[in-house]
Chains A and B, each alone.
Chain A
Amino acid sequence: MLSIKDLSVSINGKTILDGFNLEVKAGEVHAIMGPNGTGKSTLASVIAGRDMFDVDRGEITYRGQNLLEMAPEIRAREGIFLGFQYPVEIPGVSMASFMRTAINEKRKHLGLEPMSGAEFLKLMEEKKKLVEIHSKLTNRSVNEGFSGGEKKKNEIFQMALLEPRLAILDETDSGLDIDALKVVANGVNKLRSPENATIIITHYQRLLDFIIPDYVHVLFDGRIVKSGDKSLALELESKGYEWVKKEANMAAAH
């Protein structure tokens, strides 16, 4: 579904991703872990199409298409969803009208009729239940006055409504208490299917107790230095990132 080859990305001349490779197939859940400042969020932003980064080298193919040539809104309509680390507030715009606009833009892109108000409300109720979100949240303006936990749940709720093929969750677990973490994880697990894939970007192993990944990758200095299964996350937890850093530095020295 997603193939990233030798990707190098910089911002203002400073290289962040450097020779990054990743293959994600339908049905898979990948976790990308690593210390702060190693390019995890940059990766998410580049896949989503944020234009503040310069792609210096490499390619990203998404479902056989050159992703880097697609506008960010087209990527979204083609099924790429980014759960933001810091979801922004949009004052005065209700969650309902925001999501209805988003869904209908996507439907238009796919050649479908726009969803009626009644259909949309029904869908919203359904998804609210799925992700255990309070009904009040959808009447409020987008993220306005939401607590940190509410904002993250709201991202999962939006993901449920948009039913993406490829979801990237950027530090969705940061700042969540254990109950909110479970709600978020439950949402993600319920949406898992053989047709879609998920990339979870996280600093901690904690979330991976609830969402079992197929692959765990460790990102360091702009590239993946170690890959494995769930046990790698546990190993990281006990040994710390220093261990990976050391290994990476040793590899670089050779």
Chain B
Amino acid sequence: MEDKNNDILEEVTGSEYKYGFYTDVEMEQAPKGLTEDTIRFISAKKNEPEFMLNIRLKAFRHWQTLKEPRWAHVQYPPIDYQDIIYYSAPLKKPKLESLNEVDPELLETFEKLGIPLEEQKMLAGVAVDAVMDSVSVATTFRSTLAEKGVIFCSFSEAVQEYPELIKKYMGTVVPYTDNFFAALNTAVFSDGSFVFIPKGVKCPLELSTYFRINAANTGQFERTLIVAEEGSYVSYMEGCTAPIRDENQLHAAIVEIIAHKDAEVKYSTVQNWWPGDKEGKGGVYNFVTKRGICEGENSKISWTQVETGSAITWKYPSLILRGDNSTGEFYSVAVTNNHQQADTGTKMIHLGKNTRSTIISKGISAGFSNNSYRGLVKTTRKAENARNFSQCDSLLLGDKCGAHTFPYIEVGNRSSIVEHEATTSKISEDQLFYCLQRGIDMESAIGLIVNGYAKEVLSKLPMEFAVEAQKLLSISLEGSVG
């Protein structure tokens, strides 16, 4: 009976990746491999000022002294960093006046992904800066944002147009010396987004960017920088899907967020990169450094993530709570299926007085996958009355997958209160049968139960994203039953 149940779960969870298609757009690539010449090539291609080239070169030289970290609870063959193409961009076209001038094939790709880049999205009040293989191809709603003084543009553009802001903030939260992949990213980053919300401004739109890995053998090195000045507010969304490819694709992004006094930043992401096939062949390696700093008093940053993709995920969106009374939040749903491996979690570093943090992590493991939560909560000597609440739940589907929790707690003063709760559960046969008896088939039942389990996190996502995320959770665990 146990076996039978597992067979069913296996079938249900043995789903193929639904977004596996590949767009044939003309490409311009750097030669394979990584040398100073590659970096100069990238910098020249992007017509970068001297200071940026220097940052890249410094990072590259530092990277050469580092070894790839191996402490995460994941396993993969060695990566040959000389066998990767570090720059690839759709061929430059003259500046576009409207979306109609964008390559129709590219638009079709976005359509297939369900990215409503066009009218619907505009009506919905969302400005989209769509990044395809490193270069921005379309930007909308610029003017609405400009009126408020909000800057939302590609990172490359920001380097050209707002070099002072880039110089001031880039690398202040995640310096290139931080870790191996941060150094690599800083050396070769291709593009990304830059957001700047001036003092006192509540950003009138939800900002969203869609990233997409497309070219074969191309590492993707995005870089996002979000700066919220005093008393400002912004909600930023990012979503990813990638086409099926045979080779492993390396992705090492950096996200930096700075919140000044009384500012609030909400960062939401839905990540659905190709996880590899059922046998664990291929798939994206996602080694990401995301960190925010609550610089000023009463500032607040929250991370919300729904992770369903990638062969290997290595990602810890973290927060440094420096300002007194600042607040950090981390809400996460991580799904692993087939042979996926995820080692993900957060760090909450409490430096200021009365700082508060909340961690809600929901892991869902199916197939032969391994899902690890790794989190650090640290309160320093000066962080009086710091508070943290952590809740880590794991849900197992079948008996061949694994869920692991690695909580680290370091308390540096007597007035801090740190709470950690953890549960591990399985979808019970009773729950499944209850659904079946109401006429709901196995697939939908698992979808319902999993979405219910993840509800606490999904409800933190912006409305339209939440719907997408719900579908994604079901799709990720969907199979060929019936």
Contact = CB atoms under 8 A, between A and B. Distances in A.
Contact of B449 (A49, A82, A93): A93
A76 B434 contact: no
Contacts of A49: 436-437
13 contacts: A72-B437, A73-B442, A76-B437, A82-B437, A90-B431, A92-B455, A93-B449, A93-B455, A98-B435, A101-B448, A102-B440, A105-B440, A141-B452
Contacts of B435: 90, 98
B4 interface: yes
Nearest to A12: B1
Interface string A44-56: 0000111110000
B109 interface: no
B436 A109 contact: no
Interface in B415-440: 428-431, 433-440
Given A49-B436, A106-B439, A162-B438, A90 B452 contact: yes
A23 to B, nearest CB: 23
Contact of B439 (A50, A90, A91, A109): A109
Contact of A101 (B430, B444, B454, B456): B444
A112 interface: no
A84 B216 CA distance: 54
A82 B452 CA distance: 23
A77 B431 contact: no
A73 B453 contact: no
Interface residues on B, range: 20 to 34
B454 A90 contact: no
Query: Among B4, B439, B455, which residue has the most Cβ atoms of chain A within 10 A?
Result: B439
B88 to A, nearest CB: 42
A90 B437 contact: no
Contacts of A97: 448
Contact of A76 (B4, B439, B442, B453): B439
Contact of A51 (B4, B455, B456): B4
Interface in B388-441: 428-431, 433-441
A71 B431 CA distance: 16
A88 B428 contact: yes
B369 interface: no
Interface in A61-101: 71-73, 76-77, 81-82, 84, 86-88, 90-93, 97-99, 101
Query: Among B1, B434, B453, B455, which residue has the most Cβ atoms of chain A within 10 A?
Result: B434
Contact of A91 (B433, B436, B438, B452): B452
A97 B449 CA distance: 11
A88 B438 contact: no
A138 interface: no
A42 interface: no
B456 A92 contact: yes
B444 A76 contact: no
Q: Which 9 A-B pairs have the closest CB atoms?
A: A92-B452, A93-B452, A92-B455, A76-B439, A102-B438, A72-B436, A77-B439, A105-B439, A88-B430
Contacts of B302: none
A73 B440 contact: yes
B448 A98 contact: yes
Contacts of B430: 86, 88
Given A51-B1, A92-B454, A93-B449, A105 B444 contact: yes
Interface residues on A, range: 20 to 34
Interface of A: 48-52, 71-73, 76-77, 81-82, 84, 86-88, 90-93, 97-99, 101-102, 105-106, 109, 141, 158, 162
B439 A102 contact: yes
Contacts of B453: 91-92
Contacts of B431: 88, 90
A91 B449 CA distance: 8
Given A90-B434, A92-B456, A106-B439, 10 more contacts: A72-B436, A72-B437, A76-B438, A77-B439, A84-B434, A88-B434, A91-B453, A93-B455, A102-B439, A162-B438
B134 interface: no
B391 to A, nearest CB: 13
Contacts of A141: 452
Interface string B438-472: 11111010001101111110000000000000000
Contact of A73 (B436, B454, B455, B456): B436
A46 B109 CA distance: 49
A165 B386 CA distance: 60
Given A93-B448, A105-B444, A87 B434 contact: yes
B449 A105 contact: no
Contacts of B442: 73
A99 B429 CA distance: 19
B448 A90 contact: yes
Contacts of A82: 437
A73 B441 contact: yes
Contacts of A71: 436
Nearest to A101: B440
B452 A158 contact: no
A158 B439 CA distance: 12
A51 B433 CA distance: 9
Given A92-B455, A101-B440, A162-B438, A72 B433 contact: yes
Nearest to B449: A90
Contacts of B455: 92-93
Contacts of B440: 73, 101-102, 105
Query: Among B4, B448, B452, B454, which residue has the most Cβ atoms of chain A within 10 A?
Result: B452
Contacts of A92: 451-456
A84 B441 CA distance: 18
A49 B435 CA distance: 12
A93 B455 CA distance: 8
A88 B449 CA distance: 12
Contacts of A86: 430
Contacts of A88: 428, 430-431, 434
Nearest to B439: A76
